Structure 1
Amino acid sequence: MSGSGVEAVRAALRGAASDDQRVKIQKRMTDPAMRVIGVRMGTVFDIAKAHTAMTLDDVDQLLVSDTYEDRMVAVSILDFKARAKNVDRAALYELWMRRLDRIDTWDYIDRSAPRVVGWYLLDKPRDPLFELARSDDRWHRRAAVTAAFWIIRAGDLDDPLALCEILAADPEHLVQTNVGVALREIGRVDRGRLEEFLKRRGADLSAAARRTARTALAPHP
């Protein structure tokens, strides 16, 4: 049985749903079978923020839902929880990884992987990210490089660069886009290391990833 928190979230989502939003959101779904009820993203985030105190058992129930907005609330709650002081980062990370098969859209990953996964792994071995980067699943590979954003933010570049090395020639556009973002952020920390990477592997990147990465090298106005 759903907990009261789950019921409250679903009631709030239903109350905010519209056909116009459903059509707009459905157009950007990478899985046409995903059930969308049509709630504006700003409203989804507001609902998540209002339920940040939800138990992880309830978040888990939202993650296993077949509805896009339910799962977006769930990953957003995990992200909001990760920002809190004295949070149990291990519990957030373990739930995220246990339900990785449900975190299967680009925006679920971007919304939650940096703080929930990357922050947890700041002071730990990054083996899980390398396993994800070598996965046959494109979402796992995107998750690996996206989680690395938080590690880059901390000024730790070795593992993020190694992940970009693995993913430089990735055939999936939705992986390449975030490889480009990771490289751009690396360049903002250490321009030289980005330049060296682009000399060696730039030709392997997609055109979009190269353009994104090189924005870190553009002269400041």
Structure 2
Amino acid sequence: DFRKEIVDFYLTQTSRINNWDLVDTSCHKILGHFAFHQNQENILYDLAKSEDLWEKRMAIVSTWYYIKNKALEIVPEIVVINLNHPHDLMHKANGWMLREMGKKDDEKLIHFLDEYTLQLPRTTLRYAVEKIDPALKEYYMKLK
């Protein structure tokens, strides 16, 4: 299968996909698409557990394809794997995908925030609540 060949090649090149721009413009279109349509979420979970920052970011940003297809369950699961990652680029990516998830299902975002707000890095929280009701946004920000 041609798509599998592309994904396999992409995965052999992760050391070269080594900045936020390369990750953010490619992984959801390649890895997210493939994992979603081939039921290969293990690819994303494996990347999320990698020691490499960029592979971790590929995992969460690839969930954007799932979000666009309203398959939201994977998003909080991938976020939680790297909830306390030390790098700001992971905080931003996690918050970005939580925000995108919230645009599709605000209740799922609120449920996640109710459980994890106190554990979230401030940047993740700030990105996640960017588009929610202003009163709720203020509530969650004040919890931190």
State the 1:95 CA deviation: 1.3
Note the aligned Cα RMSD (angstroms): 1.5
In structure 2, the residue matched to 1:195 is: 110
Aligned residues with identical type, % of pairs: 26
State the 1:112 CA deviation: 0.4
Contact 1:191 1:216 in 2 (8 A): no
What per-residue deviation string (whole Å, max 9, x for no partner) do you get for residues 107-144 of structure 1? 11011011011011112120111111111111111110
Superposition TM-score, scaled by structure 2 size: 0.86
In structure 1, the residue matched to 2:10 is: 96
How is 1:173-212 mapped onto 2 (pairs within 5 angstroms)?
173-212=88-127
State the 1:105 CA deviation: 1.0
Q: Return the alpha-carbon distance in structure 2 between the equivalents of residues 189 and 216 of structure 1.
A: 11
Higher relative contact order (CA 8 A, sep 6+): 2
| Higher radius of gyration, 1 or 2 | 1
- Asked if residue 162 in structure 1 is aligned to residue 77 in structure 2, the reply is yes
Superposition TM-score, scaled by structure 1 size: 0.57
Q: Return the alpha-carbon distance in structure 1 between the equivalents of residues 90 and 70 of structure 2.
A: 22
Contact 2:35 2:43 in 1 (8 A): no
SS in 2 for 1:171: coil
State the 1:183 CA deviation: 0.2
Mind listing any 5+ residue stretches in structure 1 that lack a counterpart?
A: 1-86
Q: Return the alpha-carbon distance in structure 1 between the equivalents of residues 12 and 91 of structure 2.
A: 25
In structure 1, the residue matched to 2:139 is: none
> Aligned partner of 2:112: which letter?
F
